[in-house]
Amino acid sequence: MFVTNLQMLFVYGCHDAMLLRLLHTPCLHLTDVSIFLSAEKNLNWLPHAVNGLHNLLLTDFEVGDLDQLHGALYLLRNSPNLGNLGIVPWYMGPQDDAGPALNHLESLNCLDYTLNELQTVMIVSLEGSRPELIFIKLLLAHSPSLKKFTFRLNEVDVQNRLKIGEDLLQFPRASPKAELLYLNLELNIRHN
């Protein structure tokens, strides 16, 4: 029995990521994938480009976890037709050692490819940590077709909200059409 027209795939708790090999099934037409990235060290999940992947949702993604960061970057690199990226709560706690991830994010070859088709990004529960902001900076700088980048801050005070907003607005963008949207329960602010 073959699945020939699968439209959505959710991957939760797949520690060895073997399920991702499904993405290379020639008869599989896949448009949406939601993935929980575990601390996975095997980056051979996607040995070839997955041309049919257009929408990707990374859940519980900790950008400060080097293994998860590598997994996310690997997925982005091997999804040349990715048009929409969603990132749902990444839990950065003070006990986390984000040093290795931060060093990787700041290295020159961290994002050594262009996300040509990426048009929308949505990040929920942004805390404003340095690894998060650098990851966002990389996405903005490497997405020439980006139209909308939506983010919602986690529970942070007003002064930190302003600082995070200022930082995000100063990041260079590969797309002149990229619009930053800040979602807040109290108000919505739109910046071009």
Of 173 and 23, the structure prediction assigns the larger pLDDT to: 173
Average pLDDT over residues 13-32: 50
Per the structure, the count of domains in the chain is 1
Beta strand segments in the chain, E: 8-11, 32-36, 55-59, 84-87, 120-126, 148-153, 179-183, 188-191
Contact 8, 31 (CB under 8 A): yes
Per-residue pLDDT at 191 exceeds 60 = no
Give the pair of three-digit tokens for residue 149. Answer: 């980048």
At 58 the pLDDT is: 83
Tell me the CATH number at 164: 3.80.10
Residue 164, domain member (yes or no): yes
Per-residue pLDDT at 40 exceeds 70 = no
Residues 103-132: pLDDT tens digits?
999 998 888 899 999 999 999 888 888 999
In degrees and rounded to multiples of 5, residue 137 shows phi and psi of -60, -45
In degrees and rounded to multiples of 5, residue 45 shows phi and psi of -60, -45
Residue 1, domain member (yes or no): no
Residue 142, domain member (yes or no): yes
What whole-number distance in Å separates Cα of residue 164 and Cα of residue 35? Answer: 27
Contact 126, 152 (CB under 8 A): yes
Q: By residue range, what is the domain housing residue 27?
A: 8-191
Residue 3, domain member (yes or no): no
Considering the chain, what is the average pLDDT of its residues?
A: 76
Average pLDDT over residues 78-102: 78
Residue type, 187: L
Residues 51-69: pLDDT tens digits?
777 888 888 788 888 888 8
